[in-house]
Structure 1
Amino acid sequence: MSDLIYVYGIINENQTPPVFKGIDGERDAHTISLGKVDAVVCDVSQQEFGEEALQQKVEQADWLHEKAFHHHEALMKLYEYCTVIPMKFGTIYKSFENLERTIAKHCDQLIESLEVLVDKEEWNFKIYCNNEKLREGIAIHNPTVESKKEEIAGLSPGRQYLEKRKLSQLVNQELEKEKESFSTLVHDSLQAFSVSSEVKKNWNKDVTGRNEEMSWNSVYLIQKNQVESYLDHIKELQKKWEDSGWMLEATGPWPAYHFVALPKSEGTR
């Protein structure tokens, strides 16, 4: 039974990737020449990575975590030495012919993507907020809330009671507006340092494991000579706004998952 081909990523033909153990933990990863690009791959057995076997394996949390972490670590090693188009975890081809056919079909697209990624880094950026702290500030300083308070003060005692109950709802509404406005303003300022950006879905607290709420999640492709300025800008914003209940977090650099169009792998199962 012939081996399968596990693909980590695509690099230019003139680059030399580091040597590392493949996802099976036994054989070394290596490159396959595919014209003007190379694929960084490792051979894997049908017994462990065949379609039916893999479906069973991914249901095992320990195995999945170990292999997904290996895939990520391998891409980080490649990223240190090469411009790389990262493949998704579990990209497997049945044969060299299937891999070669897919790459040949998308070769121009891959070469263009590699050119775009030269001397650039992907950075993730998140904004977290302390809702209670922000709510306190809005209750005191927000013009709309202040106006409502003045309106309530001029009402009869009975009407005041009813309107004060609505005031909390108004504060919550203004809180959501404030989070959207602040996050968008910060994002706009960070785009000045990037060549491309993407806004992603916010994660809930079950995913982040944090007490603070995530109010923004985005990713930027940044020229390497702009990264220091990008990070300095975030530090300045954090220092300016942390007492108000905002937490700004940049992580990276990461393999550029978000800024390349990956070809569909017709040759995989």
Structure 2
Amino acid sequence: MDVEPATVIHAYGVVCTDAAIDVPATGIGGAGVALLDAGPVSGVFSIVPGASYGAAAWEEHAEDPAWLAQVATEHQRVLNDLVRDIDVLPLRLPAMYRDEVQLHQMLEAETPLFLAVLQALHDHLEWSVHLYLVGEPEESTVERPASGSEYLRQRIDALSRRDSARGNRERLVRDAYASLADLSRQSVVNQPQDSTLSGRREPMLLNSAHLVCRRHERLFLAGVEEVAARLARDGITVEVSGPWPPYNFVELGTDRVDPAEARP
């Protein structure tokens, strides 16, 4: 039976070593945050209790949304603090290592990849845009049908109007996304979130992410305001958040690092 180590390493992301870095004071579970120099790149990490954040804890809480959300929030907070001033590549959860030696070996092995991605995404951040349907045009009042055929005609007309409204909304959403994509270096459409994730009762029509140069943030946000003004009269509201690390434009994990191979 494997014994859980007293402490494990939780890694947040990767940065260029020569960047002027001021790491946050605390991270996961209130643990201190530090840098591990691996040559051209450094890892941002915390030393956390193995009993609370080791492999067994992740397995135990795999179906515990409250625990997962808490860890994800604390993980993201560290990355958000870093990304205000420097480029950072986020590591996806659970970015856990046995010790600093194992993390250092991963950083060394992946240095060419990390440097290439850091260069490609230099000075770019991610912005999230959500569109919600908050209101629909009211159905016009119709006279009580005088016959079965009249009732059927009214039903067909109502369905036709709804189909037309749905088609119009889809066109508006496509146009809105295209407008914002034109102001972004890259854009991606994700699956719309349900109310549990979005925190809103209204249906989400668009869940998009946009990679924007820091110098062009004001231009992008002005474009968001223009889109919001256009959509408001059709009962669609726009929610923008960020800037975030480029989660949707770089997916860096630890899958290629075999813990057995990383043992000293």
Place the TM-score, normalised by the shorter chain, in its bin.
Answer: 0.7 to 0.9
Q: Please give the alpha-carbon distance, in whole angstroms, between the structure 1 residues aligned to 2:196 and 2:49.
A: 36
Return the TM-score normalized by structure 2. Answer: 0.83
Q: 1:172 to 1:204 in 2, by over 3 A?
A: farther
**Structure 1 pair 188–117 and aligned structure 2 pair: CA distance change class (3 A):** same
Counterpart of 2:181 in structure 1 is 191
State the Cα RMSD in Å. 2.6
CA separation of 1:167/1:227 partners in 2, compared to 1, >3 Å: closer, same or farther? same
1:21 corresponds, among 23, 26, 48, to 26
Moved more, 50-59 or 104-113: 50-59
Q: Is the 8 A contact 2:6 2:51 kept in 1?
A: no
**1:176 corresponds to which residue?**
166
Partner of 2:112: 108
CA drift at 1:231:
1.1
**Which secondary structure state, in structure 2, belongs to the residue aligned with residue 258 of structure 1?**
helix
Report % sequence identity: 24
Match of 1:146 in 2: none
The alignment status of 1:72 with 2:76, answered yes or no, reads yes
Answer yes or no: is the 8 Å Cα contact 2:24–2:78 preserved in 1: no
* Residue 34 (structure 1) aligned with residue 38 (structure 2): yes
Distance 1:160 1:238, change over 3 A: same
Cα distance between partner residues in 2 of 1:221 and 1:89: 21
CA contact (8 A) 1:127 1:215 kept: yes
Distance 1:206 1:191, change over 3 A: same
Corresponding residue of 1:260:
250
What secondary structure, in the 3-state scheme, does the structure 2 residue paired with 1:110 have? Answer: helix
Q: Distance in 2 between matches of 1:25 and 1:39?
A: 18
AA aligned to 2:189 is V
Q: Output the amino acid matched with 2:100.
A: F
Stretch moving more, 175-184 or 62-71 = 62-71
CA contact (8 A) 1:113 1:261 kept: no
The residue matched to 1:184 in structure 2 has which SS? helix
Q: How do 1:45-84 and structure 2 match up within 5 A?
A: 45-57=49-61, 63-84=67-88
1:152 match: none
Contact 1:195 1:220 in 2 (8 A): yes
What number of residue pairs does the alignment pair up?
A: 250
Seen in structure 2, the aligned counterparts of structure 1 residues 264 and 18 have a Cα distance that, compared at 3 Å, is closer
Structure whose residues are more often helix by fraction: 1
Report what 1:202 is aligned to.
192
Distance 1:233 1:81, change over 3 A: closer
Q: Is the 8 A contact 2:24 2:81 kept in 1?
A: no
Q: Does structure 1 residue 243 correspond to structure 2 residue 237?
A: no
**Is 1:88 aligned to 2:92, yes or no?**
yes
Corresponding letter in the other structure for 1:229: L
Please give the TM-score of this superposition, normalised by the length of structure 1: 0.82
Amino acid at match of 1:18: V
- Call closer, same or farther: CA 1:168–1:3 in 2, change over 3 Å: same
Unmatched segments (≥5 aa) in structure 2: none
CA spacing shift, 1:59–1:201, aligned 2, 3 Å: closer
Give 3-state SS (helix, strand or coil) of 2:233's partner.
helix
Match of 2:12 among 8, 19, 41: 8
5+ residue gaps, structure 1, are 141-155
Question: Aligned partners of 2:14, 2:163: CA distance in 1, in Å?
Answer: 47
Shift of 1:5: 1.3
Partners of 1:119 and 1:40 in 2: CA distance:
19
Distance 1:205 1:57 in 2: 22
For the residue of structure 2 that corresponds to 1:238, the secondary structure is helix
